[in-house]
Structure 1
Amino acid sequence: MSSPLLARKGRHQQRYHNQLRLVAGCIPYKLNKEDDSGSGDLLDRVVVLMITSPGRHDLVFPKGGWEIDETASEAACREALEEAGVRGILNDTALGVWEFKSKSRQNNRSLEGTCKGYMFAMEVTEELDLYPEKDIHARKWVSVGEAYELCRYDWMREALDSFRNLLTGKSLSTVPELYDCIMKSTSADHAIALF
């Protein structure tokens, strides 16, 4: 049975900056009620959501093209819904910005296929049974420690570092160019995915 929601297709509305494809995504997370380890450490209660990558055996965080009719935070929420079937509260503070090659262009030495990715943290409030890319992406909840082991790329581990800093109250590096791109609205307007 397919999802009544549809994923956006194509790149006709894709944002680019200096030949880099702009993408947005998030690290979806939730807190377990119980600390199974007994440590009392908040991070021991956190699980993050990773998804399968089409045609590969690795896991990634939901992310995808940031389009011209949306803010970075809206794109991150949309991608979380399309690829992972989750909605939630997106933290205003960006985890950071990373440049990386798309998986199909890893060995290409030109700028072609290079992405500039804006990542956020999303506290999951709803997990849907049906979502647009359910047949493409399977979900897996893992501990933060497991996520580090599963990350294929350095930028993903760096995003996890920023995520841990956010949860533990440590400062994050600021992302000045991002503030020009994120719509400043009331927390209710942009904190919950708009779908």
Structure 2
Amino acid sequence: MATGLPMESRTGRNNQRTFPIPLTIRGASYHLVTTPLFPMADIFMHLHFFSGDIGYGPEGERLVAGVVPLNAAKTHVLLIQSTRRNAWVLPKGGWETDEECTEAAQREAWEEAGIVCTVDYDLGQITETRTAKQISKNAPKALYQFYQVTVKSEETEWPEKHKRNRKWATYSEAKHDLQERPELLQALERCTIQR
């Protein structure tokens, strides 16, 4: 196990951030980041993808931080199993009040995939693509912020190991596996994985 990392997942949405000011949506621009994606790092560059009183956006959407985890050669992406259905997804989850967006992405990568990684690029914001019929209390409308990361280590024990499998996939395999989740597919398309 990675030293100092918690073995419990955060659950619930009591600490979800709120954001009352209108958002500006970034295009598919790429911003180079060299921030260690590790909670105990002494030096941590704080990236904000919003400014102001940043969890829930002005239209009630959940603010979600996620990662596109690549191997060092950029030939494979790490996918995890969804807990709600038999599908593969990217690690992601709610951005809470006591953390920066990169810290939320880092926490989700650890909790859901059991990985320690370094942020390479800010992949920008991705707006919700699910239909109103697909949105539910357990899966509300969301605004996503993704980061491309390089996996430094895969731990054998992690908080959600008991409910998630993980697998490495090529670009074409991942594109097929993510076809039912356009917002995740868009994050994959923005990263620098070899095609």
Q: TM-score, normalised by structure 2?
A: 0.69
Unpaired runs of 5+ residues, structure 2, are: 18-55
Letter in 2 for 1:58: A
Match of 2:108 in 1: 79
Match of 2:87 in 1: 58
Deviation at 1:133, TM superposition (A): 0.5
Larger radius of gyration: 1
Q: How many Å separate the matches in 2 of 1:26 and 1:108? A: 22
2:145 pairs, out of 97, 112, 118, with 118
After superposition, the Cα gap between the structure-2 partners of 1:94 and 1:139, relative to the gap in structure 1 and judged at 3 Å, is same
1:147 pairs, out of 147, 157, 174, with 174
Q: How many Å separate the matches in 1 of 2:81 and 2:190? A: 22
Match of 2:57 in 1: 17
Match of 1:177 in 2: none
- Secondary structure of 1:95's counterpart equals strand
Which aligned segments of 4 or more residues in structure 1 are displaced greater than 2 angstroms?
99-103, 105-110
After superposition, the Cα gap between the structure-2 partners of 1:107 and 1:5, relative to the gap in structure 1 and judged at 3 Å, is closer
What number of residue pairs does the alignment pair up? 149
Q: Is the 8 A contact 1:51 1:62 kept in 2?
A: yes
- Secondary structure of 1:11's counterpart equals coil
Unpaired runs of 5+ residues, structure 1, are: 33-44, 169-195
Q: TM-score, normalised by structure 1?
A: 0.69
More helix by share: 1
Q: How many Å separate the matches in 1 of 2:125 and 2:162? A: 29
- Secondary structure of 2:93's counterpart equals strand
Q: Percent identity?
A: 34
| Residue 161, structure 1, aligned to residue 189, structure 2 | yes
Q: Is the 8 A contact 2:65 2:92 kept in 1?
A: yes
Q: How many Å separate the matches in 2 of 1:102 and 1:13? A: 24
1:100 pairs, out of 128, 132, 138, with 128
Letter in 1 for 2:68: I
Q: Is the 8 A contact 2:129 2:182 kept in 1?
A: no
